[in-house]
C-alpha cells in the first residue's frame, strides 16, 4: 500500500533521534536552573515528549518519576523500549496535550521541548499550571524572533506556520500574564538546529530516497521539510528556540 505524505512525515520523524531542535546540553542547562531553585524534584511530566531525546536526560539527571506524554504511540514505544532499565520511574501516556488526565497539583516540574506550540504558548501555560504543585516549575522551549523586525519573507513563513511566534521579551510578558514568574530564559544555539536536528533529518530523507522500496509520496514530504530547512539556513540569525523556565507563584 502506498504511504500518504502524512504517514511518511511520521516515518521520517520516527527515524530521527529527536523531533525538534535541542540537545543534551540544552536540556541539562534548563534542568540545572530548576535544580538551583528547588530542593527536590519528585514528579516530572514531559509533554509532547516525542521519542524522548530530552526524557533520557531527565531520567539520567534526576531521581524523579517521569510521565512522558505524546499523542503518537510509536514515539512512546521507542522511548520506553530504550529505557526499560528505569522500570516504573518512566510512565508513558498517549494523550492529547490539550486534554490531559494528569492529576491536579501532582507535578514538581512540567517539561516541554518544542511542543507547546501545538496548543499555543499562552494557552498551554494557562492550562498546564493546574498540574503543578505550589512553587513548581514549567520549562518549555518556544520558537522566538531574535530581534524586533524581520524580513517580509520570514514573517510570511511564520504567519503561516505559527503566528504566535514573538520576541523573547514578549514571550516573558505572555508567560507572566498567565500568572507564572519567569526565572530565566536563554536562546538555544544553532547546533541544536543543525547538528542535532536538520543534519539527521537530511540523512533520513536521503536514505528514504535511496531505499529500494520506493515511496511515491516521499517527494511531497521531503519538499515540505526541505523548505523549512532552507528558511532556517537563510535566517538562522533572525529566529531560534528559546527555553523559558517559569515558576508557579
Ligand atoms: C516538535 S516535536 C518535539 C518532540 C520532543 N520534545 C523533542 O524535542 O524531540 C512535537 C511533539 O508533540 C507531539 N504532539 C503534537 N500535538 C500533540 C498533542 N495535541 N498532544 C500530544 N502530543 C502532541 C508530536 O507527536 C511530537 O512528538
> Residue 214: its pLDDT value, please?
86
H runs (alpha helix) in the chain: 5-14, 24-37, 53-61, 73-82, 121-128, 152-161, 168-177, 190-193, 199-210, 218-235
To test the ligand 1 pocket, which listed residue (48, 74, 102, 142) has its Cβ within 8 A of the most ligand atoms? 48
26-44 average pLDDT score: 98
CB neighbour list of residue 194: distance below 8 Å, 6 or more residues apart = none
Cβ 22 vs Cβ 241: under 8 Å: yes
pLDDT digits (tens, 9 = 90+) for 136-178: 999 999 999 999 999 999 999 999 999 999 999 999 999 999 9
Long-range contacts of 96-101 (CB under 8 A, 24+ apart): 96/71, 97/47, 97/48, 97/69, 97/71, 97/124, 98/127, 100/45, 100/47, 100/69, 100/128, 100/131
CA 98 to ligand 1: nearest atom:
19
pLDDT digits (tens, 9 = 90+) for 167-188: 999 999 999 999 999 999 999 9
User: Distance, CA 22 to ligand 1 centroid (Å)?
Assistant: 13
User: Distance, CA 34 to ligand 1 centroid (Å)?
Assistant: 22
Give the residue from 118, 138, 135 showing the smallest Cα distance to 44.
Answer: 138
CA 49 to ligand 1: nearest atom:
6
- Alpha carbons 5 and 230: distance in angstroms, whole number: 20
Mean pLDDT for the chain overall:
97
Q: Residues with beta carbon inside 6 Å of ligand 1?
A: 18-20, 22, 48-50, 53-54, 70-72, 75, 96-98, 113-115, 118
pLDDT digits (tens, 9 = 90+) for 229-244: 999 999 999 999 999 9
To test the ligand 1 pocket, which listed residue (53, 78, 115) has its Cβ within 8 A of the most ligand atoms? 115
User: Distance, CA 70 to ligand 1 centroid (Å)?
Assistant: 6
User: Distance, CA 72 to ligand 1 centroid (Å)?
Assistant: 8
Cβ 17 vs Cβ 195: under 8 Å: no
User: Distance, CA 50 to ligand 1 centroid (Å)?
Assistant: 5
Give the number of other Cβ atoms within 10 Å of residue 27's Cβ.
Answer: 23
pTM of the model: 0.97
Instruction: Tell me the three-class secondary structure of 221-246, residue by residue.
Output: HHHHHHHHHHHHHHHCCCEEEEEEEE
Give the number of other Cβ atoms within 10 Å of residue 150's Cβ.
Answer: 18
Amino acid at each position: 500500500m502506498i504511504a500518504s505524505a502524512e504517514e511518511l512525515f511520521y516515518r521520517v520523524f520516527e527515524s530521527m533521534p529527536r523531533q525538534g531542535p535541542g540537545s543534551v546540553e540544552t536540556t541539562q542547562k534548563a534542568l540545572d536552573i530548576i535544580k538551583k531553585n528547588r530542593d527536590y524534584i519528585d514528579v516530572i511530566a514531559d509533554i509532547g515528549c516525542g521519542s524522548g531525546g530530552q526524557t533520557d536526560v531527565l531520567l539520567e539527571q534526576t531521581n524523579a518519576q517521569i510521565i512522558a506524554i505524546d499523542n503518537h504511540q510509536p514515539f512512546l514505544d521507542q522511548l520506553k523500549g530504550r529505557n526499560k532499565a528505569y522500570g516504573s520511574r518512566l510512565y508513558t501516556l498517549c494523550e492529547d496535550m490539550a486534554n490531559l488526565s494528569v492529576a491536579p497539583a501532582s507535578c514538581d516540574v512540567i517539561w516541554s521541548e518544542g511542543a507547546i506550540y501545538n496548543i499555543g504558548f499562552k494557552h498551554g501555560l494557562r492550562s498546564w499550571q493546574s498540574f503543578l504543585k505550589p512553587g513548581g516549575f514549567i520549562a518549555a522551549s518556544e520558537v522566538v524572533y531574535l530581534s524586533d523586525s524581520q524580513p517580509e519573507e520570514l514573517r510570511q513563513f511564520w504567519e503561516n506556520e505559527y503566528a504566535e511566534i514573538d520576541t523573547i521579551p514578549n514571550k516573558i510578558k505572555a508567560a507572566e500574564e498567565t500568572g507564572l514568574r519567569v526565572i530565566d530564559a536563554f536562546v538555544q544555539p544553532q547546533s541544536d538546529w543543525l547538528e542535532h536536528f536538520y543534519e539527521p533529518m537530511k540523512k533520513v530523507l536521503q536514505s528514504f530516497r535511496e531505499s529500494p522500496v520506493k515511496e511515491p509520496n516521499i517527494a511531497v514530504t521531503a519538499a515540505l521539510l526541505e523548505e523549512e530547512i532552507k528558511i532556517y539556513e537563510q535566517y538562522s540569525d533572525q529566529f531560534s528556540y528559546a527555553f523559558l523556565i517559569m515558576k508557579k507563584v
